[in-house]
Structure 1
């Protein structure tokens, strides 16, 4: 869903005509319907895609689709953490904040359990492999080496 949203938003860059955009919108609608059925059937869902597109850095927008389709914000966050680790067979290494686990962390402004949009639009700090790599709390786009 999300990668098709990206293609629609950047249709001029890709040279997509209105017929292609209409097809992409229909594809998104079918994906949303399938996601809703999967949620109701309690299918284990992980955030992410095997699609190669240039929307890197916008991946968390997929969480918004999950909530719109019926997940709680907590369930949507689970798709991006523990569920992904479980489906990869890496649940003893990834997907949790615990000793011995590899974890990248973000701090957000707001409560992501009440509003998933804070994870998408209000990230204030990022830690990767134990080092702060982005810190917006000190002003615009302060990045650590």
Structure 2
């Protein structure tokens, strides 16, 4: 009975975390118009469906890689190639960082939580801190 409750709690926390991260990703992509801006910058509007598909498939692939602990024996320079693409992603993320500040107030307004904004921020901060500590200290291992 206790093991089942433990599993249910883990499932609840996992689904809640997935919803939070997924919502943040959707807010990042939709509110900031990252994909249309990428198409505008590169003058490649015709390939916008390819960009969207790449984001979805990349998210799915790396989620499965993380869940199933897959490892890949690729050529040594593949790390550098992956680093270049990861750097491009981080660069685009940093470029959009000034606009990300507007995502949370818009989300809070749409779901009717404007008066609870400080609590929403604190919940996110403490959730990240506690989750990181649990991961780093190996509490669930």
Q: TM-score, normalised on structure 2?
A: 0.32
Query: Larger % of helix: which?
Result: 2
Which of 1 and 2 has higher RCO (CA within 8 Å, sep 6+)?
A: 2
Larger Cα-atom Rg: 2
Q: TM-score, normalised on structure 1?
A: 0.31
